Structure 1
């Protein structure tokens, strides 16, 4: 699978490794491996670097005619169609971004595998560390995810596919170890996506998209912007209330630095600026 360079593979793989949900995905030997469902077929995909400006993608469990859809999904998850030379050229007009790009040239903005999974990840990550959110996601998978077919388990070392919305929409998830309000938000969002599968469809008007999401109980500006960044692929999305982003900026520019003010210089590529700030903490 070809991509336009540059691509910072170590940072991309590190991001995925830190957020890998037990049983569903893993990073090993320089590759990202995950289970998925396509239609009524379970599958496993493995992605690693190849020679030249290419990634090697290995897919198991789905018929040949389904491969194009899987490969399109991989391109989306790995942000392979981004025009990084253009994005980095514009961000380099800001001194801080120029420094961060020199450190990690070709940094991409990874996106979610599908709308439902990414929405659940986002809610689980509200006001909690990445490690804490992934622990909760692992419990969600173990309790409500479908077991991966035995041959795929043996081949991949994975055990489950991520739950579907129907499995949790009317379930009390507070027993997983989260506040009842957050468990309720998971159910609310699952129900909304079942009612409108296009709820998280991309739109040109980012603010209108954010306002629409914020009408859902339990979804505020942070969650909506994070979903816009990870699911919609909005290049200018920026969750201003993100504690890690504020921390990263102040470590780099001092305790008085204001994220909202500084971010004005990064538009229309604030999502990529955010990814650089997050990466600077690792």
Structure 2
């Protein structure tokens, strides 16, 4: 994301009356990338319909139960490889059986090479590839594309935190009207999402 010209992005997004305020609070905000597409994909699934704190707890438990322990430095575990989660019992970390199955199917797709996000030709193809995994819908796919592919236009439509954030600024939008409004933010919707999420903290 360091190659992105934040002044161009900010100029485009500043046409929105809510975003202009958020841009002033955090000028030059960057969309964080991801070290590994599999890891961010699993973390996105862990974060489906739960708080950030709950998702973090699930991730910690997953690392402790299935990650590779390391002894040097401040990290205690490496994130599990896809092969390690294909048949893993994830009930001990508190996941529903459905969410655990989604993670196992995702791990299998990565392990077998059926899900190679680097081969996706654009956002739509990446979303289609991800949504082929049962339990992954558009919200999760868009979030993964935002982080793993650094797609500047990825936008997790229907995200409750985005809706809550924009409505805290005097708006009264629904998920549908937020999606329509976000069309004006193209091709920088990922940055708009990040500004809205950060306004919640």
TM-score class, shorter-chain normalisation, is: over 0.9
| Residue from 194, 197, 201 that aligns with 1:275 | 194
Q: Does 1:100 align with 2:19?
A: no
Cα deviations by residue, 1:202-244 (Å, 9 ceiling, x for unpaired): 6443223212221111111111111111111111110111110
For the 8 Å contact 1:263–1:270, the answer to whether it is kept is yes
Equivalent residue pairs, number: 199
- Seen in structure 2, the aligned counterparts of structure 1 residues 227 and 244 have a Cα distance that, compared at 3 Å, is same
Please list, as runs of the form range in 1=range in 2, the aligned pairs for 1:71-110 lying within 5 A after superposition: 79-110=1-32
Inter-partner Cα distance in structure 1 for 2:173 and 2:41:
33
Q: Does 1:166 align with 2:83?
A: yes
Structure 2 counterpart SS, 1:274:
helix
Q: Which has the higher helix share?
A: 2
Cα deviations by residue, 1:61-89 (Å, 9 ceiling, x for unpaired): xxxxxxxxxxxxxxxxxx32222121112
Structure 1 stretches of 5 or more lacking a match?
1-78
Deviation, 1:187, is 0.4
Match of 1:220 in 2: 137
Q: Which structure has the greater CA radius of gyration?
A: 1
Deviation, 1:163, is 1.2
- Seen in structure 2, the aligned counterparts of structure 1 residues 197 and 256 have a Cα distance that, compared at 3 Å, is closer
Inter-partner Cα distance in structure 2 for 1:186 and 1:279:
27
Match of 1:115 in 2: 37
For the 8 Å contact 2:115–2:129, the answer to whether it is kept is no
- Seen in structure 2, the aligned counterparts of structure 1 residues 91 and 227 have a Cα distance that, compared at 3 Å, is same
Match of 2:111 in 1: 194
Inter-partner Cα distance in structure 2 for 1:126 and 1:200:
20
Inter-partner Cα distance in structure 2 for 1:249 and 1:214:
27
Q: Which has the higher strand share?
A: 1
Structure-2-length-normalised TM-score? 0.93
Please list, as runs of the form range in 1=range in 2, the aligned pairs for 1:185-264 lying within 5 A after superposition: 185-196=102-113, 199-201=116-118, 203-256=120-173, 258-264=177-183
Structure-1-length-normalised TM-score? 0.67
Inter-partner Cα distance in structure 1 for 2:119 and 2:12:
23
Cα deviations by residue, 1:159-191 (Å, 9 ceiling, x for unpaired): 111111111111121221011000000000010
Please list, as runs of the form range in 1=range in 2, the aligned pairs for 1:30-109 lying within 5 A after superposition: 79-109=1-31
For the 8 Å contact 1:117–1:162, the answer to whether it is kept is yes
Cα deviations by residue, 1:29-64 (Å, 9 ceiling, x for unpaired): xxxxxxxxxxxxxxxxxxxxxxxxxxxxxxxxxxxx
